[in-house]
Chains A and B, each alone.
Chain A
Amino acid sequence: MDATFPHSPSRRLFLKTGAAAGGGLLLSFNLPAAGRAEGEATANPFSAFVRIAPDGVVTIAATRPEIGQGIKTSSPMLIAEELDADWSRVRIEQAPIDAKVFGEQSAGGSTSTPDDWTPMRQVGAVGRALLIQAAAQRWKTPAAGLTTEPGFVVDAAGKRRASYGELAQAAAGLAAPDPKTLVLKDPKTYRIIGKPQKQSDTPAIVTGKPLYGIDVRVPGMLYATFLKAPVFAAKVAEVDLAPAKAVKGVRHAFVVDGGTELEGLLGGVVVVGDTWWAARKGRNALEVTWADHPTSAQSSAGFAAQAAALHKQPPHRNVRTVGDVKAALGGAAKVVQAEYSYPFNAHATLEPQNCTASFKDGKVEIWAPAQNPEDGRELVAKTLGIKPDDITLHFTRSGGGFGRRLMNDFMVEAAWISKVVGAPVKLLWTREDDLQHDFYRPAGYHSLTAGLDAKGDLVAWRNHFVSFGEGEKFVRAAGMNATQFPFGAVPNYALDVSVMPLGVPTGWLRAPGNNAYGFVLQGFTDEVAHAAGQDPVAFRRRLLGEPRLIGEPGKGDSFDTGRMRGVLDLVAEKSGWGRKTGKGVGLGVACHYSHRGYVAVVMEVAVADGQVEVRKAWAAVDVGRQIVNPNGAEQQVQGSILDGVGSAMGQQITIENGAATQSNFGDFPMLRFADAPDVEVHFRVTDHDPTGLGEPALPPAPAALVNAIFAATGKRIRSLPIAGQLA
């Protein structure tokens, strides 16, 4: 997730075997970096990746949080494939949180697939090698002559076969081979990877089984609601708690003083009751006077005015210059200039933030729908003044993540409340809490200038980006990578930055940065194409040029113009680019690289009476040589593109008097059923290691949409959201 996301290196595997309770094979591994002594027991009952029972059922641990991205199914598929398991006899269990056993257990930045791709296949391959070895010993034949069929070791020459279940016990007594010595399967022989597999939790979801954080129930549990100051980090000045305590079913009401860090425990009033509704009624009875706060005058309108003023000034600093932009613009046959902007935006996971915590005798147990729970451990330890090892974490399935649950504010709140009331507590935020206390996608303001030569080639590109931060430092998720396309494709290039201070919490929203830069860069590229008198697809092809690596290969992100050209050509073909459309109907194109994926999108829209109807979207996607689960991959691409449509159409968080003004889905509109077009998804296979799909299909979608609106109406949308601009 760009440079700002804490991304740890891939797992290094040192697999160990062991016997499962009741017989069978356990495959676990030790991370030497974790400092655990050889053979030291872990606290968790299932500290293994694979468990093969005597009846042949293979249980595979899903080690990462499932937030709707499908990793709970796709990562075990990698193990099952190389194990040569019978997929119909594979059970998937959510692994406990134990970094010492499972390594990185986060979900963010579309990194799970690339990070799991090799290690998880190696886990499966080690298991298969052990089972073959066990069969070789049983049959007193060389292992080299044996092979496997799903769930069986087979000796073709001796016409013998043995099930994994029969061999598991013997395999448990063998030493695991070094994964590096094993040859992984030829992809042509895959039986599980590359075949559409259903998400493992679907049967439980459609029958309403408890799966999510909000569904956790602990004996003796109370329910909590937490009213925080509308102005971020403001404190309670005055409150009478009696009206809340008078409500039937309310057990506790108290003030939390809170700290000053937006990521941590903030000030407010907590009400705890026998049911959440009782607590909520108690909260509704409160009248709180909030203390003045230094950020209570900030507003979205004020930020926009400051940005406009900054755009007229020389930038605070230049981040990157190639060539001489000023000279090139001076000599250009045509100069195009435009301002682009986008608002703060919220994640709005449909499951509001929540967490269950049980504090007892200086230790706390926590159940959280979290994307990066280990970060929460530090926060809770620091805030409650306890040792990190005195915190036991469990994660649940999350009702959406989108980056919101990379932050762990709800975790520290629940732990604090449980400590104060001395009972297990489930904290549940209201939707209003969720929209008004998010870590928002930062707003941003871009002043763009492009120069074209007489042939219509792009010769200069300058972006004066006004963002939030202080000095050289951006606030979280507000920075911009200097090598965003068209860096490397234009001879004269400059990224300049000016920043303003911010007192609004910001964070990573699905495809951080890129969810906005895709709109800005590909929207403006479209304007430049039209100014050059060229077809938008043809202009992009020319700009991409010959297949080569641009950006900064070896020093961070590189950008393969050939891969982008490939998806651009594919989406043009599939969408019938260039065909005639009726009056008020238009096709728009955009292509964007992020999270190691290349995605091009075409959208067809019809605009009438100021209303935009997205009729259809086409996507061409290049995430390498292997789509792990085509079923989940299609879901992620469709979902990302529709997410981009929904957010571009109507979503914004407006800051006034230091607080978010939107409060629920009435003023924060989500894409709805009748407005969702079909999305046709095509994958282009190229010979690169597989990468993730939770994010890269989103960034081109808003640009394709506004470019289509331009094609349909001649109206150029340069600020989001679109709603209200076409009337």
Chain B
Amino acid sequence: MAVELKVNGQVHAVDAEPDTPLLWVLRDVLGLVGTKYGCGVAQCGACTVHIDGVAMRSCVTSLARVGAKAVTTIEGVGAGPVGAKVQQAWTAIDVPQCGYCQAGQIMSATALLTAAPKPTDDEIDAAMNGNICRCATYIRIRKAIKVASGQVEA
């Protein structure tokens, strides 16, 4: 039976089992493949999305748990001022190497800067520690967060 799912401001009728993780609904049902699979157990952060503005791991969040809450993915995060700033900073610093984790990194960074517009290094550490970058672009991620929050220049 189809349920309604709100993603990036649009309501979709989704035909999927309620225990299906949001990640697979986004990727395989809606074709929004920007959100990535990395571990399936909330260890790597590649699947991070916002649910009512909170950064969540979509690989362990079932469709039933999302319910009527609003989902924002990497495809939609740039519509908000903070997400747009983060994406601009990521481009200005040229953060990615392979780039696979970066959607999740950007979603975590956007949630951080929404809650803490000028985060300290400790706050950045805490917010970003759940997102693995196998290429280890961490140095540039830190810099990009500081650029996006106006603490340093690109």
Contacts and interface: CB of A to CB of B under 8 A. Distances in A.
A217 B99 contact: no
Contact of B37 (A199, A428, A631): A428
Contacts of A248: 17
Nearest to A645: B136
Contacts of A202: 90-91, 94-96, 99
B28 A206 contact: no
B32 to A, nearest CB: 8
Interface string B30-45: 0111111111110110
Interface in B91-106: 91, 94-103, 106
Interface string A666-698: 100011111010110000000000000000000
Given A206-B106, A211-B99, A352 B28 contact: no
A595 B64 CA distance: 51
A350 B97 contact: no
Contact of A208 (B73, B94, B97): B73
A659 interface: no
Contacts, number: 172
Interface string B6-42: 0000000000110011001001110111111111110
Contacts of A674: 125-126, 128-129
A203 B34 CA distance: 13
A349 interface: yes
A215 interface: yes
A83 interface: no
A68 B99 contact: yes
Contact of B136 (A67, A214, A397, A671): A671
A184 B111 CA distance: 50
A400 B100 contact: yes
Nearest to B122: A674
Interface string A176-220: 000000000000000000000011011101111111101101000
Interface in B36-90: 36-41, 43-44, 46, 73-75, 78, 87, 90
Contacts of A671: 136, 138
B90 A206 contact: yes
A503 interface: no
A209 B35 CA distance: 10
A198 B99 CA distance: 13
B113 interface: no
A350 B94 contact: no
Contacts of B97: 68-70, 635-636, 639
A351 interface: yes
Contacts of B125: 673-674
A363 interface: no
Given A350-B132, A672-B132, A674-B129, A205 B41 contact: no
A664 B96 CA distance: 23
Interface in A644-676: 646, 664-666, 670-674, 676
A249 B46 CA distance: 25
Contact of A199 (B28, B36, B94, B101): B94
Contacts of B78: 207
A202 B91 CA distance: 6
B131 interface: yes
A664 B41 contact: yes
B33 A210 contact: yes
A208 B96 contact: no
B135 interface: yes
A105 B39 CA distance: 30
A350 B98 contact: yes
Contacts of B39: 431, 664-665
A338 B94 CA distance: 44
A205 B86 CA distance: 13
Contacts of A59: none
B103 to A, nearest CB: 5
B141 interface: yes
A639 B16 contact: no
Contacts of B73: 208
Contacts of A672: 129, 132
Given A277-B28, A431-B38, A665-B43, A399 B99 contact: yes
B129 A673 contact: yes
B99 A205 contact: yes
B20 A400 contact: no
A599 interface: no
Nearest to A667: B43
B2 interface: no
B33 A214 contact: yes
Given A275-B24, A277-B20, A639-B136, A631 B94 contact: yes
A205 to B, nearest CB: 4
A673 B96 contact: no
Contacts of B126: 674
A352 B43 CA distance: 14
Interface in A72-115: none
A458 to B, nearest CB: 34
B133 to A, nearest CB: 8
B98 A68 contact: yes
A666 B41 contact: yes
A636 B125 CA distance: 22
A635 B32 CA distance: 29
Given A68-B99, A276-B24, A673-B141, A350 B46 contact: yes
Contacts of A205: 96, 99, 102-103
A208 B47 CA distance: 12
Contacts of B29: 275
A62 to B, nearest CB: 15
Contacts of B152: none
B128 A673 contact: yes
B75 A208 contact: yes
B114 interface: no
A517 interface: no
A642 B36 contact: no
- From B75, B136, B137, residue with most partner A Cβ within 10 Å: B136
A670 B96 CA distance: 17
A251 to B, nearest CB: 13
Contact of B139 (A206, A399, A679): A679
A303 to B, nearest CB: 27
B131 A275 contact: no
Contacts of B37: 214, 352, 428
Given A214-B36, A215-B33, A275-B20, A665 B138 contact: no
A169 interface: no
A642 B138 contact: yes
A665 B73 CA distance: 23
A643 B137 CA distance: 10
A679 B126 CA distance: 21
Contact of A349 (B27, B34, B134, B139): B134
Interface in A246-271: 248-249
B28 A430 contact: no
A594 to B, nearest CB: 19
A430 B21 CA distance: 14
Given A631-B94, A664-B41, A676 B75 contact: no
28 contacts: A202-B91, A206-B74, A206-B90, A206-B91, A207-B74, A207-B75, A208-B74, A214-B33, A214-B36, A217-B33, A275-B29, A277-B21, A349-B98, A350-B36, A350-B100, A351-B36, A351-B100, A397-B99, A399-B100, A400-B134, A402-B134, A431-B41, A635-B97, A664-B41, A672-B129, A672-B132, A673-B129, A674-B126
Given A248-B17, A350-B101, A431-B40, 20 more contacts: A68-B97, A199-B96, A201-B99, A207-B87, A211-B99, A214-B36, A275-B28, A277-B28, A350-B134, A402-B134, A631-B94, A639-B135, A639-B137, A646-B136, A665-B44, A670-B134, A672-B129, A673-B125, A673-B141, A673-B142
Q: Top 10 closest A-B pairs, CB basis?
A: A208-B34, A68-B98, A399-B100, A208-B74, A642-B136, A205-B99, A676-B138, A277-B24, A674-B125, A665-B43
